[in-house]
Structure 1
Amino acid sequence: MHDLILGILLGVSAGFAPGPVLTLVISETLRHGVRSGIRVAIAPLFTDLPIILVTLLVLSRLSGLDAILGGISIAGGLFVLWMGVESLRVEGMDPQQASTPPQSLIKGMLANALSPHPYLFWLTVGAPITTEAMQSGIGAAARFIVSFYAALVGSKILLALITGRSRAFLAGRLYRNILRLLGLMLILLAFLLFQDGFERLGACPT
């Protein structure tokens, strides 16, 4: 259950946060309709598997090195803290600014693959959580990954549907409040990652 909650929290936060893929989702929805926006929203399902496999392989080689894992956990905390602070600072998105040229699923995949966020997330946050979950069984790791991508893609699809009906949502108070609530939860998660990292480094009592 812990893995499921983490997956949903991180997935929804990443799904609602402004970024290259979300901009493409909005742009495609406004220009070509909801179906085009959904095609871009599912792009991470096609691009992230190699990233997950590589980061899990790297961490499996470091499984006995607590000092390195502690450093990775602290780096993950910094990344999640940055995500949380950015969510708190968002004032909304102007749909009129999503004026990139028409995009396809392939362009959405390229935007996701060329963004540093998936690599940073999986190296510092996703892979460590998955590796730890695997100690409880493959089912726990699968729950985290499936819930993360269900929430990530589901959030972007939901935004495509809402954008197709009301552009004002992206610049409205509800969207800002959702992001700020998610931001506070991410900041809390960041401090938990800091605690884990410092414990691995022996810098605080277990």
Structure 2
Amino acid sequence: MTRGGTGSLSALFGIFFSSFAVAFSGAAAPGPVLSLTIAESLRRGFRAGPLIILGHGILEALLVALFLLGLSNILSHPAIPPVLGLFGGMFLVAMSVGMFLNLSKNGGGSIGIATAGLQELTDGSSTRSSFRRNPVVLGALTSLSNPYWFIWWATIGFAYVHFSVSLGALGVVFFFGGHILADLVWYSGVSFLFSRGKRRLSGAVYRGIIGCCALLLLLFGVCFVTWSIGSVVQDIDFSMR
């Protein structure tokens, strides 16, 4: 292999491991996707984590494709994050309220009863409801609800894509491969631990964990809505001066 080829290969693996490390540190931070993964893993088992990340990954792949098509100026428009934060925050609040209502409806009882109640609430009887509660769809919608996810991609993510393009098509593949692998490793691990631990949980502990996840989703939703409204008000106030 030529020296230039060795350098290119080193750059490819460099961007892969760098992308993995940066994405892993972000995935490990508490957020809506983590709360969703814990709740869905207790209900669906290990497969919830990989399926949620599949939806998350499809959304990010589309975003990278838009960057490559030259739409970064539109995606980085300052109005985009507040709009996503507002509607995304409302989506998280609605999801958390539904979880709280279900826990209240089922009250006490065994973990099997609680699980059945969540299954009834989240799956629904209609095809449309089942689609909305599909973990792949939830993974994409929950990611899209987070304005900070969009800000990350408009800044750090775009810089990574810009650099990886200089290495050719393989550069983009290695960057995205490292990025999504980090998410898959972390959330699959979380899903595995909680799905296995479910067997040892009492109904009260199970409902407590679901309640905490619902509370976190509610807090994230309220914070996103508040941040979005604050950003709009600040922009209006600045433009009036």
Give the TM-score category using the shorter length: 0.5 to 0.7
**What is the CA deviation profile of residues 97-135 of structure 1, one whole-angstrom value per residue up to 9, with x for unaligned ones?**
5599xxxxxxxxxx433x3x2333344426513324417
What residue in structure 2 maps to residue 112 of structure 1? 135
C-alpha displacement at 1:160, in angstroms?
Answer: 0.7
Provide closer, same or farther for how the CA distance between residues 152 and 81 of structure 1 changes in structure 2, counting only shifts above 3 A.
farther
AA matched with 2:72: S
Provide closer, same or farther for how the CA distance between residues 187 and 124 of structure 1 changes in structure 2, counting only shifts above 3 A.
closer
Which runs of 5 or more residues in structure 1 are unaligned?
A: 26-37, 101-110
AA matched with 2:139: P
Matched, 1:179 2:227: no
1:74 aligned residue (86, 90, 93): 86
What residue in structure 2 maps to residue 28 of structure 1? none
Q: 1:153, 1:189 → 2: CA distance?
A: 26
Provide closer, same or farther for how the CA distance between residues 15 and 151 of structure 1 changes in structure 2, counting only shifts above 3 A.
farther
The structure with the larger Rg is: 2
1:1-206 pair list within 5 angstroms: 4=26, 7-17=29-39, 23-25=43-45, 38-56=46-64, 57=66, 60=72, 62-63=74-75, 65-86=77-98, 88-89=100-101, 91=103, 94-96=114-116, 111-113=134-136, 115=137, 117-125=138-146, 127-134=149-156, 138=160, 152-166=187-201, 168=203, 171-181=206-216, 183-199=218-234, 202-205=235-238
C-alpha displacement at 1:150, in angstroms?
Answer: 5.8
C-alpha displacement at 1:168, in angstroms?
Answer: 2.2
**Secondary structure in structure 1 of the residue aligned to 2:236:** coil
Q: 1:196, 1:6 → 2: CA distance?
A: 27
**Secondary structure in structure 2 of the residue aligned to 1:157:** helix
C-alpha displacement at 1:170, in angstroms?
Answer: 6.0
Provide closer, same or farther for how the CA distance between residues 121 and 88 of structure 1 changes in structure 2, counting only shifts above 3 A.
same
User: TM-score, normalization: structure 1?
Assistant: 0.57
C-alpha displacement at 1:190, in angstroms?
Answer: 3.5
2:82 and 2:228 in contact (8 A); partners too: no
**Secondary structure in structure 2 of the residue aligned to 1:203:** helix
User: TM-score, normalization: structure 2?
Assistant: 0.50
Q: 1:187, 1:160 → 2: CA distance?
A: 28
AA matched with 2:150: P
1:72 and 1:124 in contact (8 A); partners too: yes
Percent identity over the alignment is 14
Provide closer, same or farther for how the CA distance between residues 86 and 78 of structure 1 changes in structure 2, counting only shifts above 3 A.
same
Which runs of 5 or more residues in structure 2 are unaligned?
A: 1-21, 107-112, 124-133, 161-175
Provide closer, same or farther for how the CA distance between residues 55 and 195 of structure 1 changes in structure 2, counting only shifts above 3 A.
farther
How many positions carry a matched residue from both structures? 176
